[in-house]
């Protein structure tokens, strides 16, 4: 091959590698909540762009299993991975470990099934901003509207937020209180894969809650680490019920237990996510009475 052509191809390959779009993997955790998982995936489909792969690790008692298959039928590009009914705590870490290790993504975010995305977000832009500003994470659940902590039922003082770009703000993570000072979360925060891998590989955990707890207690962030967020939060957690068994005192509403929601799903209904578009809320978790509409042909 002509050396000039070879040189040009090398330059082109280098340019393409430097300017290639970030690859982003989303890993979702779900337990006996097919209707809520459906709402989360539908809200991602409507509002979120930029993911490379979406995987769901889920636990389903026998009566919920068919509903999860219906969810997968509606979202066939999403990979659903079932935990064993006999030993879900034993297989949780191996499943997370395998997904992260085998992921080709350079950025990863986690989510849980009681989240609904409420506004448009481009994860590619979030990743590029993280790289540009050397940020530890991009926090979709935070913004100027977040002034309360739902779990503690208290107001929280926001850290000093510095404008980084139009509509994008940053702060030193160690200066934050409440949710602003909780750097490691499974609630839709974008991280560099290397940081996620270090946690997934080295920590002891057997559920989403114990993973998040260990991540914060055993791997605190340094004093210079910054977080990024949008002007307003892009997601909301709807604590309609409690399915985890690690922290039974966690605050929740209990107005829609999982059996009730399963019956709604079996009736061909889904949560109306359009009613939550730009839903005003002061804390990442918000009390809400959902409305249900037909899933149509699904």
Contact in structure between 276 and 250 (CB atoms under 8 Å): no
Across the chain, mean pLDDT equals 91
Minimum mean pLDDT range among 41-45, 197-201, 235-239, 248-252: 248-252
pLDDT of residue 19: 53
Q: What are the tokens at 161?
A: 């937020």
pLDDT of residue 256: 87
- Whether the predicted pLDDT of 2 surpasses 60: no
pLDDT of residue 251: 52
Q: How far apart, in whole angstroms, are the C-alpha atoms of residue 178 and residue 181? A: 5
| Burial class (CB within 10 angstroms; exposed 0-12, middle 13-18, buried 19+) of 46 | middle
Q: Convert the pLDDT of each residue in 130-187 to its tens digit.
A: 999 999 999 999 999 999 998 888 899 999 999 999 999 999 999 999 999 999 999 9
Q: How far apart, in whole angstroms, are the C-alpha atoms of residue 213 and residue 216? A: 5
Q: What are the tokens at 75?
A: 């979202």
Minimum mean pLDDT range among 7-11, 69-73, 82-86, 223-227: 7-11
Q: Convert the pLDDT of each residue in 58-88 to its tens digit.
A: 999 999 999 999 999 999 999 999 999 999 9
pLDDT of residue 67: 98
Minimum mean pLDDT range among 24-28, 150-154, 221-225: 150-154
Question: What does the pLDDT average to over 230-242?
Answer: 95
The more confidently predicted of residues 298 and 271 is 271
Is the C-alpha dihedral spanning 229, 30, 25, 38 positive or negative? Answer: negative
Question: What does the pLDDT average to over 221-226?
Answer: 94
From the candidate CATH numbers 3.90.550, 1.10.246, 1.10.10, 2.40.50, the one assigned to the domain spanning 3-117+185-220+237-294? 3.90.550
CA-to-CA dists, residue 223 to 67, 130, 175, 292, angstroms: 45, 17, 9, 45
- Tell me the percentage of the chain whose pLDDT exceeds 70: 89
49-60 as b/e: b if 16+ CB within 10 A: ebbbbbbbbbbb
- Whether the predicted pLDDT of 11 surpasses 60: no
- Whether the predicted pLDDT of 12 surpasses 70: no
| Helix, strand, or coil (residue 79) | strand
Q: Convert the pLDDT of each residue in 243-274 to its tens digit.
A: 866 554 655 566 789 999 999 999 999 999 99
Question: What does the pLDDT average to over 19-38?
Answer: 93
pLDDT of residue 74: 97
Radius of gyration, CA atoms only, the chain:
20
């Amino acid at each position: 091959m002509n050396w000039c052509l070879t040189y040009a191809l090398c330059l082109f390959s280098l340019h393409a590698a430097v300017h290639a779009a970030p690859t982003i993997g989303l890993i979702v955790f779900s337990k006996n909540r097919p209707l809520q998982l459906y709402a989360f995936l539908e809200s991602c489909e409507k509002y979120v762009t930029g993911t490379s792969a979406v995987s769901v690790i889920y636990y389903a008692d026998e009566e919920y299993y068919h509903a999860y298959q219906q969810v997968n039928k509606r979202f066939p590009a999403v990979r659903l991975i079932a935990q064993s009914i006999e030993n879900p705590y034993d297989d949780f870490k191996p499943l997370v470990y395998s997904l992260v290790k085998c992921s080709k993504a350079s950025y990863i975010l986690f989510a849980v099934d009681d989240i609904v995305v409420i506004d448009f977000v481009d994860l590619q832009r979030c990743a590029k901003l993280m790289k540009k500003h050397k940020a530890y994470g991009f926090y979709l659940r935070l913004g100027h509207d977040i002034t309360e902590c739902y779990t503690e039922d208290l107001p929280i003082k926001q850290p000093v937020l510095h404008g980084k770009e139009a509509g994008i703000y940053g702060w030193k993570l160690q200066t934050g209180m409440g949710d602003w000072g909780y750097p490691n979360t499974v609630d839709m925060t974008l991280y560099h894969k290397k940081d996620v891998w270090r946690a997934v590989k080295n920590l002891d955990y057997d559920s989403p809650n114990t993973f998040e707890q260990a991540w914060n207690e055993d791997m605190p962030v340094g004093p210079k680490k910054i977080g990024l967020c949008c002007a307003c939060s892009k997601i909301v957690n709807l604590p309609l019920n409690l399915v985890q068994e690690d922290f039974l005192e966690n605050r929740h509403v209990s107005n829609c237990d999982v059996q009730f929601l399963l019956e709604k799903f079996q009736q061909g209904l889904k949560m109306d996510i359009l009613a939550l578009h730009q839903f005003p809320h002061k804390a990442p978790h918000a009390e809400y009475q959902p409305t249900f509409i037909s899933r149509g042909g699904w």
